[in-house]
Amino acid sequence: MPTLKVTDLHVSVSDEETKATKEILKGVNLTMNTGETHAIMGPNGTGKSTLSETIMGNPKYLVTQGDITLDGVSLLGKPVDERARAGLFLAMQYPAEIKGITNLEFMRAAVNATRPAEDPIPIRTFLKDLDRNLEVLNMSDDMTERYLNEGFSGGEKKRNEILQLMTIKPTFAILDEIDSGLDIDALQVVAKGVNQMASPDFGVLMITHYQRLLNYIHPDQVHVMMGGKIVKTGDATLANELESTGYAGLRDELGLEVNLVDEDVPAGNGGK
Ligand SMILES: Nc1ncnc2c1ncn2[C@@H]1O[C@H](COP(=O)(O)OP(=O)(O)OP(=O)(O)O)[C@@H](O)[C@H]1O
Ligand SMILES: [Mg+2]
């Protein structure tokens, strides 16, 4: 069973203006197997997107300690495209607009990147799959002819990330706030797309601020990240608890101090 494992991960970023280095992740532990659905919740600025970007290999994020492995093989030092070929996919919180490459060309290239060069996906097979996915997501096919994300509305970008997910079919997907900016119907459509991916060969990590998404995509494990660490792991009921107590309640429960975006907090039961 494929496993994505994050061990004692410490990550720093350097501020583009001041060049000062700041530690964001302070010892994250997380183990995900295929067939599992995980969710991460946590206050703004705690490092959730930093974790996603670091797993995917964004060079802005410097790993100073710990490891990220896929099936026991370290991903550190491997560029983004190699990680994508190995089966990782990231739906970014703020998907980038890329002029000059159409959505369709991008997805076809991404699918072919995972196949041997001498065996590209037959165009008819690709288009048939793409059409099916467009239908599930209630998207019009002219979206695929447009430049990637260019001029897409916030919700269209999010829906398009799920179109890519369904078409590229990675082994592990990280969905960073896939629910942000979606109207009520779009949320259900996006959830339907993610749920269709469910299989013993696919694992998903969803980052969200709201329990509502988890009504549609049921998580096996919910992790709470605070101060750059996973401080608590539980089942879906943890998200409901959080919704009623807020992070303040959890801070009290765990004996954490208030105001702790940058503070060092003890690792909770999220470590494996
Ligand atoms: N490239 C960067 N340069 C400077 N600071 C950064 C950079 N990336 C992240 N940070 C800082 O790291 C901290 C964590 O940011 P991150 O985006 O990971 O938080 P988050 O948990 O995803 O928050 P949100 O819920 O608001 O999306 C923030 O204080 C942020 O300003
Ligand atoms: Mg974020």
- d(CA 247, ligand 2 centre) in Å: 16
Residue 259: its pLDDT value, please? 52
Ion ligand 2 contact residues with beta carbon within 5 A: 48-49, 93
Residue 257: its pLDDT value, please? 64
- The closest residue, in CA terms, to atom 30 on ligand 1 is 45
Task: Give the whole-angstrom CA distance, residue 205 versus residue 44.
Answer: 18
Give the HSE-up count for residue 76: Cα atoms under 13 Å, Cβ half-sphere. Answer: 16
Instruction: Tell me if the pTM is above 0.85.
Output: yes
Helix (H) or strand (E) holding 137, with range, is none
**Burial of 180 by CB count in 10 Å (0-12 exposed, 13-18 middle, 19+ buried)?**
middle
Q: Best substitution site from 22, 28, 49, 58 to test ligand 1's pocket, by max atoms within 8 Å of Cβ?
A: 49
Indicate which atom in ligand 1 lies nearest the CA of residue 209: 25
- d(CA 42, ligand 2 centre) in Å: 9
Q: Which ligand is nearest to the CA of 261?
A: 1
Residue 18: its pLDDT value, please? 86
Indicate which atom in ligand 1 lies nearest the CA of residue 42: 21
Domains of the chain: 3-254 (3.40.50.300)
Q: Hey, which residues does 21 pair with through a beta bridge?
A: 14
Residues contacting ligand 1 via CB (< 6 Å): 13, 15, 24, 42, 44-50, 60, 93
- The closest residue, in CA terms, to atom 28 on ligand 1 is 45
Residue 262: its pLDDT value, please? 45
**pLDDT average per 10 residues of sequence, the chain (272 residues):** 96 89 96 98 96 97 98 97 96 92 95 93 97 95 92 92 96 96 93 96 97 95 96 95 90 73 47 37
Indicate which atom in ligand 1 lies nearest the CA of residue 16: 3
Residue 90: its pLDDT value, please? 97
Question: Which residues lie below 8 Å from residue 233, measured CB to CB, with a gap of 6+?
Answer: 221, 222, 223, 224, 268, 269, 270
- Calculate ∠ Cα 32-36-37, nearest 5°: 95
